[in-house]
Structure 1
Amino acid sequence: MQSIANIYPQLTVPKKVVVTMHQKPDADAMGSSLGLYHFLKQFNHEVTVISPTNWASFLSWMPGADKVLDFDRPHLKAKALEAIVGADWVFCLDFNTLSRTKNMEQALSDTQALRILIDHHQQPQVDMFSFGESNTEKSSTCEMIYDFIIASGHADKLNNEAAQCIYAGVMTDTGSFRFPITSAAVHRLIADLKNRGLNHSKIHEDLFDNFSENRLKFIGNVLLNRLVVFYEYNTALITIPQADLIKYDIKTGDTEGLVNYPLSIEGIKLATIIIDRGEERKLSFRSKGDFDVNEFARKYFSGGGHKNAAGGQSEKPLDEVAKDFEEAIKQNRDQLSTYNF
């Protein structure tokens, strides 16, 4: 994989470009993709943004979200495949391996286009990309898109539409700027966006002040009935049966951020949520300080991610996955019981 700087001279030459992201995209995946979209369009590239799956409704406010193709929808799949086959460049954002694109994996693997990676996850599948940048020290892929735009020498094309999308991804992936990954560079980035006219409070409102009544009741039920705290391991666990998802009519994205709630309990070092999605159990991990949930997820739950934020999955029943988790934290007792920050 060659340095992404090698494509800078070609940015001004119009091309057919596809921008894609991981399945079930979050604000960073969608924000980085649309931020890049708004940048590239100004060079008269023919740009198509494709998501492997649907996305949370609270991301639909982003400028350009209405133009994103959902690969999972039959009437859009043919158009998406046509764009991939005809592309000169395919930007792969916020994922480290093609398998994170679900049903799009084969099409992305077969394309004759140059695949370009921009991502901040560990252990990227570098042999699948012609050009790219992978940097685990970055807070978000949106931060990397900002860096890409500035380093390309075209900072004048960082318009308000791109700025809104970039801000959303940086804010959410840093936990509203409270996670340790929030660097001085991140704050300088935000200051630059503000100087360009960004309305940050409106974006926060669009992302977080849009709960349905059912979602609020669902969160209340989770905290009251589905939360268990293992004080001896400085750990909290939330388990959500599929019946709860059905009862409260939970949509894509409605469980976003739930795993962070237990971290507000004094002394909690590791917070985990296990959600029964029917066909499989999905896990999310968040940690404080020196406990590496990327390694934890890889070792026990076929997952991975970042040091303080990771995911995993299991095909076992929910109660068995919960038991596996309890056994895993027992095996990590020494690390978890030592409260270092």
Structure 2
Amino acid sequence: MQAIQEIYGQLKDPKRVVITMHQKPDADAMGSALALFHFLKEFGHDVIVISPTNWARWLNWMDGVSEVLDYELNKVEANEILDRTEWLFCLDHNHFSRAKSMAPKLAAIDCVKILIDHHQEPDCASFNYGISNTGKSSTCEMIYDLIVNSGHRDKINKVISECLYAGVVADTGSFRFSSTTANVHHMVAALKEHGLEHTKVHEALYDNFLENRLRFLGHVLTNRMEIFYELNTALIYISKIELLKYEIKTGDTEGLVNYPLSIQGIKLVGCVIDRDEERKWSFRSKGQFDCNTFARKYFNGGGHYNASGGNDSASLQETVQKFKNAIKENSSLLQ
């Protein structure tokens, strides 16, 4: 994989471009994709954003989201577009497999493939150009760097600023996490100068849910959270029946894994949700517990040092027991 700087000189040469991200895109994935979408359109590129799956309705405020193609719902059209593309940008995921059913098509098409991501262990061999930097707060920060370092800071407008800010504020935990460097704050200051209304973005991300989600959170925290004080660990487990009962949609469980971290002494949180085809895990930690290694070892996953995800084909009861066994095995790291 050649350095991302190698494409800077080609940005003014219009091409057929597809931008994609991981399945069930979050604010960073969608924000980075749409920011890049608007930026490349400024140079006359024919740009289409294709999401591997649907996304949370609370992302629909972003300018350009109405033009995003859902691969699962529009597979024939999306495959025809991918067959014609000249540049493929893969954002906020380190391996094609994170694009779910879209993965085989991404691997098969013949085009220039470009990776921009901040997760560990990227599949560099599958890309012609790119950058992987785990020290970055978000993929949105990396898209900002691309725009500025390529000499096109003047292309940043209010729309791009809002998309970039959404990803940064979400992936830094509203600037709480250790990935919030001085460069992140410099970036936000610059976005403010380009017309960013940060309150609008915060309200769109965090004050944009339905009543059923709040009642669902109350139920989960009261009835589906276990605390293991001797291991400084918390567990949340949610069944399929509960998702149906509270009419939980894509994105409604976003951030749930973070709640137990507010409990004094808790160093690790595991949250598992019973989905149709598998059990989906999210992990968060404080300090020196490596979530990435933990997720890879026990739950076919990975991600960042203090935030990662995984999955399990076992039943909800079985995977919960697997987690309990795993934290006991790692008890020395959780003290």
- TM-score over 0.5 (shorter chain): yes
Per-residue CA deviations over 1:251-306 (Å, capped at 9, x if unaligned) read 00100000000001111111110111132110000001111100000011110000
**Aligned residue type for 1:309:** A
Q: Aligned pairs, how many? A: 335
Q: 1:89 deviation in Å?
A: 0.3
Structure-to-structure mapping, 1:95-244, within 5 angstroms: 95-244=93-242
Please give the alpha-carbon distance, in whole angstroms, between the structure 2 residues aligned to 1:300 and 1:198. Answer: 42
Matched, 1:4 2:37: no
TM-score (norm 2): 0.99
**Aligned residue type for 1:160:** K
Asked if structure 2 preserves the Cα contact closer than 8 Å seen for 1:288 and 1:308, the reply is yes
Please give the alpha-carbon distance, in whole angstroms, between the structure 2 residues aligned to 1:233 and 1:159. Answer: 48
**Aligned residue type for 1:137:** G
Please give the alpha-carbon distance, in whole angstroms, between the structure 2 residues aligned to 1:153 and 1:4. Answer: 14
Asked if structure 2 preserves the Cα contact closer than 8 Å seen for 1:305 and 1:311, the reply is yes
Asked if structure 2 preserves the Cα contact closer than 8 Å seen for 1:259 and 1:284, the reply is yes
Please give the alpha-carbon distance, in whole angstroms, between the structure 1 residues aligned to 2:302 and 2:107. Answer: 22
**Aligned residue type for 1:2:** Q
Per-residue CA deviations over 1:17-69 (Å, capped at 9, x if unaligned) read 00000101000100000000010000000000000000000101001000000
Q: 1:77 deviation in Å?
A: 2.1
Q: 1:199 deviation in Å?
A: 0.2
Asked if structure 2 preserves the Cα contact closer than 8 Å seen for 1:38 and 1:159, the reply is no
Structure 2 unaligned residues grouped into runs of 5+ = none
Find the residue that maps to 1:285 and give its secondary structure. Answer: strand
Matched, 1:70 2:70: yes
Q: 1:197 deviation in Å?
A: 1.2
Please give the alpha-carbon distance, in whole angstroms, between the structure 2 residues aligned to 1:117 and 1:210. Answer: 31
- For 1:246, the equivalent position in structure 2 comes to 244
**Aligned residue type for 1:96:** N
Please give the alpha-carbon distance, in whole angstroms, between the structure 1 residues aligned to 2:219 and 2:84. Answer: 48
**Aligned residue type for 2:329:** Q
**Aligned residue type for 2:68:** V
Matched, 1:19 2:19: yes
Please give the alpha-carbon distance, in whole angstroms, between the structure 1 residues aligned to 2:210 and 2:277. Answer: 26
Q: 1:162 deviation in Å?
A: 1.0
Asked if structure 2 preserves the Cα contact closer than 8 Å seen for 1:31 and 1:165, the reply is yes
Per-residue CA deviations over 1:124-148 (Å, capped at 9, x if unaligned) read 0111000000000001100000000
Matched, 1:46 2:53: no
Q: 307, 310, 317: which is aligned to 2:308?
A: 310
Per-residue CA deviations over 1:309-331 (Å, capped at 9, x if unaligned) read 00011011111111111111111
Please give the alpha-carbon distance, in whole angstroms, between the structure 2 residues aligned to 1:188 and 1:133. Answer: 21
TM-score (norm 1): 0.97
Q: 1:179 deviation in Å?
A: 0.5
- For 1:89, the equivalent position in structure 2 comes to 87
Q: 77, 80, 89: which is aligned to 1:79?
A: 77
Asked if structure 2 preserves the Cα contact closer than 8 Å seen for 1:19 and 1:92, the reply is yes
Q: 264, 269, 274: which is aligned to 2:267?
A: 269
Please give the alpha-carbon distance, in whole angstroms, between the structure 2 residues aligned to 1:254 and 1:71. Answer: 21
**Aligned residue type for 1:42:** E
Q: 1:107 deviation in Å?
A: 1.4
Find the residue that maps to 1:229 and give its secondary structure. Answer: strand
Please give the alpha-carbon distance, in whole angstroms, between the structure 1 residues aligned to 2:17 and 2:195. Answer: 28
Following TM superposition, the consecutive aligned residue runs of length 4 or more in structure 1 with deviations greater than 4 angstroms are none
Find the residue that maps to 2:309 and give its secondary structure. Answer: strand
**Aligned residue type for 1:268:** I
Please give the alpha-carbon distance, in whole angstroms, between the structure 2 residues aligned to 1:16 and 1:44. Answer: 10
Asked if structure 2 preserves the Cα contact closer than 8 Å seen for 1:39 and 1:159, the reply is no
